[in-house]
Amino acid sequence: MLVLSIDTATTDLVTGVVDTESGAVSERIITDTRAHNEQLIPTIQRLLEEKGMGFADLDAIVVGCGPGPFTGLRVGMATASALGDALGIPVHGVCSHDAIAAEHGADRRILVATDARRKEIYWATYAEGVRVEGPGVVKPGEIAVEVEAVVIPGNLVEKLPEALQALPHVAANPRPAGLVAVADLSATPAPLTPLYLRRPDAVPPKPKPRSAALPDISGLSL
């Protein structure tokens, strides 16, 4: 099965194709970008072209549903949903933090945290890869958890309580293999539900013609 994976829950734009039979992973990740809406579809197209594939070769889509900011999640999830509808293939939503934990917390209890802006972090804790708390949103200096390691962007480490700063830590965001690993591809997909965890920074306007904030897939050759 060839699975397209997408995540726009962080400042990274994450796209990949995972072959679930061979385990082969091809990925294109653009780090520290705020232009998910302009870059997502072209990035997916380049990824498929590099593999000598087209959209019609895909069997399923997995998309990270956050936690993350309103605009970023909306771009990734709307694109995944539109592609799934156009191609007639299932779209599975997963918690983006679960995908991170799948690759970094298989043998210990960890805290996974990502930047929530407004001087806050999104967080969840895991024991041997299984989520046991969260996701939630909190000021980094106020988080109180008992873990053995921390997965968090490097610029946020010093904002944590001293006890957590002293633990082993690594910076990581979702990656295609982790996203697919936590998806139940054998199940009927549930409706996509974004994990915003709080009100958006900007209130969306009343319905208008298609916004430039959403990728337009109408001209794609599917």
Domain ranges in the chain are: 2-95+174-181, 106-170
Taking residues 87-109, what's their average pLDDT? 95
pLDDT at 105: 78
Look at residue 177 and give its three-state secondary structure.
Answer: helix
pLDDT confidence band for 214 (50 / 70 / 90): low
pLDDT at 213: 60
pLDDT at 154: 94
Residue 135 burial by Cβ neighbours in a 10 Å radius (0-12, 13-18, 19+): buried
Of 25, 32, 35, nearest to 5 by C-alpha is 25
DSSP conformation class of 2: E
Taking residues 132-136, what's their average pLDDT? 97
For residues 105 and 129, the answer to whether their CB atoms sit within 8 Å is yes
Domain 106-170 architecture: 2-Layer Sandwich (3.30)
pLDDT confidence band for 210 (50 / 70 / 90): low
The kind and range of the H/E element at 98 are helix 96-104
Taking residues 178-190, what's their average pLDDT? 98
CATH pick for 2-95+174-181 out of 3.30.420.40, 3.30.230.10, 3.90.1310.10, 3.40.50.970: 3.30.420.40
pLDDT at 198: 77
Task: Give residue-wise pLDDT tens across range 14-42.
Answer: 999 999 999 999 999 999 988 999 999 99
Q: How far apart are the first and last CA of the chain?
A: 18
Task: Give residue-wise pLDDT tens across range 139-172.
Answer: 999 999 999 999 999 999 999 999 999 999 999 9
pLDDT confidence band for 199 (50 / 70 / 90): low
Considering all CA atoms of the chain, what is the largest pairwise distance in Å, rounded to the nearest integer? 53
Task: Give residue-wise pLDDT tens across range 55-77.
Answer: 999 999 999 999 999 999 999 99
Cα separation, 111 vs 125, whole angstroms: 4
Work out the percent of the chain whose per-residue pLDDT is above 90: 86
- Tell me the two tokens of residue 9: 């829950």
pLDDT confidence band for 211 (50 / 70 / 90): low
pLDDT surpassing 60 at residue 204: no
pLDDT confidence band for 107 (50 / 70 / 90): confident
pLDDT at 205: 52
Look at residue 76 and give its three-state secondary structure.
Answer: helix
Cα separation, 48 vs 45, whole angstroms: 5
pLDDT surpassing 60 at residue 206: no
Judge if 2-95+174-181 and 106-170 fold alike in CATH terms. yes
Work out the percent of the chain whose per-residue pLDDT is above 70: 91
DSSP conformation class of 20: T
